[in-house]
Amino acid sequence: MKVLVADKFEKSGIDGLTAAGCDVVYEPDLKDDALAQAIASSGADVLVVRGTKVTAPMLDAGRLSLIVRAGAGYNTIDVAGASTRGIYVSNCPGKNAIAVAELAFGLILSLDRRIPDNVRELRAGSWNKKEYSRAQGLYGRTLGLLGVGSIGREMIRRAGGFGMNVVLWSRRFDGERRPVTEVEARELGIESVLRSISIELAPTPADVAARADVLSVHVALGAETRGLVNAALLARLKPGAIVINTARGEVVDYAALAAAVKERNLRVGLDVYANEPGSATAPFHDDLVTLPGVYGTHHIGASTDQAQEAIAAETVRVVRSYKETGHVPNVVNLARRTPATHMLVVRHRDRPGVLAHVFSHLRQANLNVQETENIVFEGAQAAVARINLDGEPNASLCETIKSGNADVLDLQLVRL
C-alpha cells in the first residue's frame, strides 16, 4: 500500500507506516496543483494531511481510497466529494485534546495576570508593579464551556485543579438546566473532578455566557455552530469577562467580538481565525488582535511534541488497520443510516454461487443492495446473509430466490 504524506509529520509516524509494510512518500510541502500531480504520479492509495486543503481535483487525480487527517478537525477536506467517490475520510480525534486545553488555560492565565504585557514592559526597562499587581485570580470563579467533547472534558479536569466551577452547554444536553449527575460524570471521565467543584448544565449557549467569568469555545465547525458566539450571546457576558476561542475562527463573530471588547472591556484569547494564511509562515493582519486586552497565538493548540506523537501513532493505527483488515477506524463520512427499507435474511449452505444467485435476482428486480453481511456458522457448512435493500421484494421474487437454488435453506423479509 502506497501512502503519500503531504504535510509535516513526525518521524515516528513515518517509521511506523514503513514498519506496517507501507511504501511511504514524504512530501510535506505539497499544495494545490503540485499535490494533485503528486497524487497522480505516485499512485498513492492513502493521503495523510494536517492543515493542507484537499479539493475535488485532487480526489480525481489518482486512485486514493483513504484520506487521513492527522488531527481532529477535517473542514479543510472536501468530505462530500470524497463520499461521492467512495473515498474514506478518517481523523485522529482526541489526540490533541490535552495540548489544546493546556493552551486555552495558558491564555486564561495570561489574560488574568496580563503576562505578555508584563514581559513587554519589563523588557523595555519599565518596572510597573503597581499596575500589574491588579488581577482577579481564577479560584472560585466560573468557567463556561461551549462543547464537552474530548477538549471540553480536559478543560473540566483543569478547572478542577484551579478550583473553578463549571457551567456547560453541548448539543448532547441541549435544553437541560441541572447539575451533572455522577453517572454522566463517569461517562465523561470527570467523576473525580465532580467531588471538588460544581459542574452544571445550562440549557443554551447564552445561559452559559450569562453565568461565566470565563467563556471557552470547544465546538466543531458546522452549519449549526457557524457564528454560534454572536453579538446577542456576547451581550450576556459580564463586563470584563474573558473569552477564549481555540476551536475554529468561524464559530465566533469576530466583528461582534471586537465591538464587545471596545464597549464592554471583554478580554480575549484566540488561537484560531477565519482568515488564516494557507502556509506556516506568511503575512497576517486582523484588527481584532491589535486591540488592548486581546492576545492571539498562531493556531498552535495541537502543536506540542506530545500531541504530535500521539496523532502520528493514531494515524499509523488507522492506516495499518485499513491495510491489514480493510476496516478504517474513526471514519467521518459513512452514512449513519442508509435509505434501506427492508432486510432480506437468507439462511444458506456455505457454497459458491448462492449469494450470486440472490444478488442476480435482486438486480433483475431493480432492487439496490445498501448493506450486506454474511456470517458463517461453526464448521463452515452454513451461513446467514443479511441484505439491506432500498425497496421491498414481492412475494413472487422471494419465492423465486428461495426455490431457484437448492442451497438456499430459508428466507425471511424484515421491514426496517
- Helical residues (DSSP H) of 20-135, grouped into ranges: 32-42, 56-61, 79-84, 97-113, 115-123, 129-132
Identified catalytic residue from 102, 191, 250, 276? 276
Told to judge if 263 belongs to the known catalytic residues of this protein, a careful annotator would answer no
Identified catalytic residue from 141, 299, 320, 348? 299
In this structure, the number of other CB atoms found within 10 A of the CB of residue 198 comes to 12
Rounded-to-integer distance, Cα 298 and Cα 233, Å:
25
Told to judge if 50 belongs to the known catalytic residues of this protein, a careful annotator would answer no
**Which three cell numbers mark 59?**
480526489
Told to judge if 298 belongs to the known catalytic residues of this protein, a careful annotator would answer no
Residue 67 near residue 322 (C-beta atoms within 8 A) = no
Residues 6+ apart with CB under 8 A from 208: 144, 145, 146, 167, 168, 169, 202, 215
For the chain, the helix, strand and coil percentages under 3-state DSSP, each to the nearest 5: 40, 20, 40
Identified catalytic residue from 114, 248, 267, 348? 248
Rounded-to-integer distance, Cα 91 and Cα 103, Å:
21
CA distances (Å), origin 245, targets 115, 215, 239: 18, 9, 18
Active site residues: 248, 276, 299
